[in-house]
Amino acid sequence: MDIQDISCIIVTILILIGLVTKLIVQYLTEQGKIIVKNKKYGENINKFINQNYKKILLVFAIFIFFSRIYKFGQIPTYIGVDEAGAAYDAYCLANFGVDRYLNSFPLYLINFGGGQSALYAYSTIPFIKLFGANIISYRLPELLFYLMGIVVCYLLANKFKDKKTALLYTLLIIICPWNIEASRKGLDCNLLAPMFMLDVLLLLNAKKNWQYIVAGISIGITLYTYCLSWLLIPAFLLVYILYMLYLKKINFKQIILLGIPIFILAIPLIYMIILNKGYATRTNFGIFTIPKLPLFREGEMSLLNIWNSGIYSLKTIFLERWGRFPIYLAEVPLFLVGFIVGIAEFAKSIKAKRFNLEAFFIIVFIVLLIVNLSVVVSTTNRVNILYLPILYIITMGITYLYRQSHLCALTIMIVLMVLFINFEAGYFNLAIEYNLDNHSPYDDNKIMSITEKIESYEDSEYAEKYILPTRKVESNIYTLLQNKVSPYELTKKEGSYKIDTYDNYHFSIDSKILKDIEQNHNTKKYILAIEQQNTEIIEKIRELGFGEEKINSYCIMKN
């Protein structure tokens, strides 16, 4: 039994204690035997917050520094294949105005054939221009968007609830494992979560006509963060509009003003769907490109997935995947308490026709969850939009327990802080282990170090260089990123979108190539980086008298 399991049991017991305390207090109060002093205690807490507000924010800033900024760009040490793809496309766009497939300023990226949203790559360009093409530049947009998300969530809770709730919500975001990990990597899809919360803040703040236009622009931009937003945002907007119409918080003119910029910004994406369905052929519009994808992933969504893979998806959302928790296991029972509280608040909101932030977040969570479950959730990246609403529901759960037992809530917070410290220590250690491990779960990112090694050889410039991984066909992206190759140097296999060679680098070996090496190894220079699992090819090259050097999971062989 590890610390996550123990903490979950402790929190569950504390919840039961809090609920039992409530029943006892209610009974004694009704009997006239005690006077509950929650109100006075709450006033003391508010007074403490007001007196130490700047100190609290300073502590939050320290947490943010150590969890997100310390060793930024170094941890995590691995680079995921999609992260590398976005980084290389950003490099190409920043320096050549085209992606790696020579599409001029594409509004959607091809990546490895299945597509990738473009906002992240374009957000990276200014940092490449300022700081050069390096890992810090590639990851800075993610960090800045997530810092913005923390501020936005604080402002949202502070405006529509109170300062105490806002600080608690902000703290839960700061110490959240998912949020920490996401802010340190450069994945396009993860921009959806902070952008969505910005959309929510702008929508709920909107009173004047121009404010609805601004909110519409923000929502339109959000559509370029992740393709799942094309389903999530319309579903959210439909329920939001119905809820606000019921509460008489929005009128039809405002709905139209909101919808116009969303529709205008969505036009290229709508056209891309039409193009990839085969109903259009034109791809270039001035300097911009709307690409036809080799692998158009239209069949991934189905309502049947809710039934067929719903339990699997829920486990991914809340529980351990690959040894990691997106939220602390101890927060799951707190979420359940908050969810029940939220349902009750939603019923009150509907009955009283009055806006309630708790009710709003419950609506948001349920709608987004249903849409997300219609797609098999194999990774938390797919459901990143859910976690900021989930953390607010957990905030609701802790706040409810605080009203029942202050000691109970305080103990829960201590447990969460211990989990945060434990996570931070483990996360940094794990990042180092991944760097040393020959079987990182993040594809073939070690090809960057292999490429660096190959380039360090004196005769590398004149050698024919072959890199042959086994786990990821598109591992060439790491060599392209490491060597900062011009996209105009790349060549592809005939009839394929997959990059096969550039200059004297090759990313596949077949019988014809092996025969060529056998016939010419006495007159031509060859350097081969072959993953050690390719034992048959390694043995054939070894028989030709090639020297070899083992690095990570690769065998570098040269004549």
Residue 400 belongs to a domain: yes
Q: Which residues contact 443 (CB under 8 A, 6 or more apart)?
A: 80, 81, 471, 472, 475
Q: Pick from 396, 430, 464: which residue ends a domain? A: 430
323 and 391 together in one domain: yes
Query: Would you say residue 328 has pLDDT above 70?
Result: yes
Question: Counting Cβ atoms within 10 Å, is residue 39 exposed (0-12), middle (13-18) or buried (19+)?
Answer: exposed
Asked if residue 118 lies in contact with residue 109, where contact means CB atoms within 8 angstroms, the answer is yes
Asked if residue 230 lies in contact with residue 223, where contact means CB atoms within 8 angstroms, the answer is yes
Distance (Å, rounded) from C-alpha 160 to C-alpha 206? 13
State percent of the chain over pLDDT 90.
51
Three-state secondary structure string covering 226-250: CCCHHHHHHHHHHHHHHHHHHCCCC
CA torsion sign for 335, 339, 340, 345 is positive
Q: What does the block give as tokens for 233?
A: 């945002």
392 and 467 together in one domain: no
392 and 462 together in one domain: no
Residue 382 belongs to a domain: yes
392 and 426 together in one domain: yes
Residue 142 belongs to a domain: yes
Of residues 107, 91, 106, 268, the one with CA closest to residue 186: 91
* DSSP bridge partners of 72: 75
Distance (Å, rounded) from C-alpha 188 to C-alpha 83? 8
Q: What does the block give as tokens for 205?
A: 């703040």
Query: What type of residue is 490?
Result: L
Distance (Å, rounded) from C-alpha 135 to C-alpha 144? 15
Domain hosting residue 349, numbered range: 3-50+77-430
Q: Would you state the pLDDT for residue 299?
A: 57
Distance (Å, rounded) from C-alpha 278 to C-alpha 276? 5
Q: HSE (CB half, 13 Å, CA atoms) of 286?
A: 3
Q: Would you state the pLDDT for residue 431?
A: 58
Residues in the chain: 559
First to last CA, the chain: 53
CA 368 distance to own-chain centroid: 16
For the segment 303-313, the average pLDDT, to the nearest whole number, is: 81
Asked if residue 81 lies in contact with residue 472, where contact means CB atoms within 8 angstroms, the answer is yes
**Better pLDDT: 45 or 281:** 281
The DSSP element (H or E) to which 421 belongs, if any, is helix 406-436
Q: What does the block give as tokens for 445?
A: 């990112």
350 and 463 together in one domain: no
Q: What does the block give as tokens for 236?
A: 């959210």
Q: Would you state the pLDDT for residue 59?
A: 94
Give the chain's mean pLDDT: 86
Q: Pick from 382, 403, 430: which residue ends a domain? A: 430
86 and 111 together in one domain: yes
User: pTM here?
Assistant: 0.90
State pLDDT tens for residues 142-169.
Answer: 999 999 999 999 999 999 999 999 999 9
516 and 408 together in one domain: no
Report CA-CA distances (Å) from 172 to 324, 411, 416, 465: 17, 15, 9, 49
Asked if residue 544 lies in contact with residue 525, where contact means CB atoms within 8 angstroms, the answer is no
State pLDDT tens for residues 5-35.
Answer: 677 777 777 777 777 776 666 655 555 554 4
164 and 254 together in one domain: yes
For the segment 468-473, the average pLDDT, to the nearest whole number, is: 64
Three-state secondary structure string covering 2-54: CHHHHHHHHHHHHHHHHHHHHHHHHHHHHCCCCCCCHHHHHHHHHHHHHHCHH
Residue 193 belongs to a domain: yes
Q: Would you state the pLDDT for residue 472?
A: 60
| Max mean pLDDT range (440-454, 482-496, 515-529) | 515-529
Q: Would you state the pLDDT for residue 537?
A: 86
Locate the DSSP E strands across 233-377.
284-285, 288-289
For the segment 33-49, the average pLDDT, to the nearest whole number, is: 61
Asked if residue 229 lies in contact with residue 192, where contact means CB atoms within 8 angstroms, the answer is yes
Taking phi over 0 as left and psi of -120 to 50 as alpha, with beta for the rest, 296 belongs to beta
Distance (Å, rounded) from C-alpha 239 to C-alpha 28? 43
Residue 64 belongs to a domain: no
Residue 179 belongs to a domain: yes
3-state SS, residue 327: coil
425 and 451 together in one domain: no
Distance (Å, rounded) from C-alpha 238 to C-alpha 465? 55
Query: Would you say residue 223 has pLDDT above 80?
Result: yes
Distance (Å, rounded) from C-alpha 25 to C-alpha 410? 18
Asked if residue 92 lies in contact with residue 289, where contact means CB atoms within 8 angstroms, the answer is no
- For the chain, the domain total comes to 2
Q: What does the block give as tokens for 536?
A: 């048959």
3-state SS, residue 293: coil
For the segment 126-153, the average pLDDT, to the nearest whole number, is: 95
160 and 235 together in one domain: yes
208 and 121 together in one domain: yes
Q: Would you state the pLDDT for residue 437?
A: 44
Residue 28 belongs to a domain: yes
Q: Pick from 373, 402, 430: which residue ends a domain? A: 430
Query: Would you say residue 115 has pLDDT above 80?
Result: yes
Residue 264 belongs to a domain: yes
**Better pLDDT: 453 or 224:** 224
| Max mean pLDDT range (114-118, 214-218, 452-456, 517-521) | 214-218
Asked if residue 330 lies in contact with residue 7, where contact means CB atoms within 8 angstroms, the answer is yes
385 and 478 together in one domain: no
Q: Which residues contact 352 (CB under 8 A, 6 or more apart)?
A: none
